[in-house]
Amino acid sequence: MEQQKHFFDLKIPLGTLLSAYGAILALYGILGDASLHEKSLGININLIWGIVMLITGGLFLAFHFLRKR
């Protein structure tokens, strides 16, 4: 595949944004006030979802850098 790449790889901004979100949510889930989770039935949804997003974002970044090598 030696064709000229037109654009930068989308996986970079996508992976960065998602992992940044994941980090923010997870931290907020750990450090934030526990009373916050009354709404979500006591589930620490920020922490859970933060981890899910960190993994999703991380996968995009990993794919980008693995492809490059």
Binding-site ranges for another protein (CB under 8 A):
3, 5-8, 10, 13-14, 16-18, 20-21, 24-25, 28-29, 32, 36-41, 43, 45-46, 49, 52-53, 56
Closer residue to another protein (CB): 36 or 62: 36
What is each CA distance from 31 to 17, 24, 44, 45, in whole angstroms? 21, 10, 11, 13
d(CA 30, CA 55): 17
Closer residue to another protein (CB): 63 or 65: 63
- The answer to whether residues 17 and 57 touch, using CB atoms and an 8 Å cutoff, is yes
Closer residue to another protein (CB): 41 or 66: 41
